[in-house]
Amino acid sequence: MMLQAREDITASAQHALRLLAFRQIHKVLGMESLPASKASARNRKRRRDGSEAGEGEGEGKKDKKEDAESA
């Protein structure tokens, strides 16, 4: 197999893997996109809001109000 053919196949395979990783397999298969399922929407992680501090987060930081009250 010629070097250029091997490089073309490799590039094509990498592109297909990227599309798969980003849930765009329909582009690889040449078909229309399927509607998002309800199960996949439920399994996605939610972003943490700033009100919940995890373990070790936010320690040592003070608001200006707290700093003024303690002085």
Residues 14, 6: Cα–Cα separation, whole Å:
12
**Prediction pTM value:** 0.49
54 near 48, Cβ under 8 Å? yes
One digit per residue, the tens of pLDDT, for the chain of length 71 reads: 899 999 999 999 999 999 999 989 999 999 998 787 776 666 666 677 766 555 555 555 666 666 666 65
Tokens standing for 13? 């395979």
Output b/e per residue, 17-50; b: 16+ Cβ within 10 A: eeeeeeeeeeeeeeeeeeeeeeeeeeeeeeeeee
Q: How far apart are CA 69 and CA 58, in angstroms?
A: 19
pLDDT for residue 37: 73
